[in-house]
Amino acid sequence: MKVGIVMGSKSDYKVVERAEKILDGFGVDYETRIISAHRTPAAAEEFSKTAEEKDIEVIIAAAGKAAHLAGVLAAYTPIPVIGLPIKSSTLDGLDSLLSIVQMPKGVPVATVAIDGAENSAILATQILSVKYSQLREAIITYKQNMEREVARDDADFQEGLK
């Protein structure tokens, strides 16, 4: 099980590394690359076309501004692609979000929130969990831990109100 993480530029890494930490926590292998949809389109095509050969089963594509990376990667592969819009412009990432989410019919890209690296990694893990039962169990545990944390916070909050 392996996730391919592709970012459009090195400046995206401060967001992308949060996805890597989540994948590390689930024990999911990943390969992280810098490939630009606009400046290195041949490399984007090559990455997509050879991803399966490298045992990549899900791709996270992080890009800002005119964020076409996820769509370009999705055009060349049957592997699920998750778009991670990066807040990197005067439009606060809205341009990135819209570039990723507005894909034409036949070229779907799942999209998470602007700078939503953690959710991109969790979604990638959930996709992989359809095939890998140990990841399914890890996701269930992760969600149970979140539930317990919120309940604990609520109890602490309620205790503080008395």
* Continuous H helices in 2-132: 13-26, 41-50, 69-76, 94-101, 117-129
Residue 48: partners with Cβ closer than 8 Å, 6 or more residues away: 59, 72, 73, 74, 75, 76, 77, 79
- Cα(150)–Cα(67) distance, rounded to whole angstroms? 34
Matching residue, tokens 């606060």: 92
Token pair, residue 21, equals 């930490």
Matching residue, tokens 């606009």: 38
Domain ranges of the chain: 2-132
Sheet of strand 110-111, all strands in order from the earlier edge strand to the far edge: 29-34, 2-7, 58-64, 81-86, 110-111
Read off the pLDDT of each residue in 23-37 and give the average, rounded to a whole number.
98
pLDDT in tens, 58-116: 999 999 998 999 999 999 999 999 999 999 877 999 999 999 999 999 999 999 999 99
pLDDT in tens, 37-57: 999 999 999 999 999 999 999
Strand partners, 5: 32, 60
Total-model pTM: 0.95
How many residues belong to the chain?
Answer: 162
Radius of gyration of the chain (CA): 17
- State which CATH number among 3.90.230.10, 3.40.50.1970, 3.40.50.740, 3.40.50.10950 fits the domain covering 2-132: 3.40.50.1970
On the question of pLDDT at 162 being above 70, the answer is: no
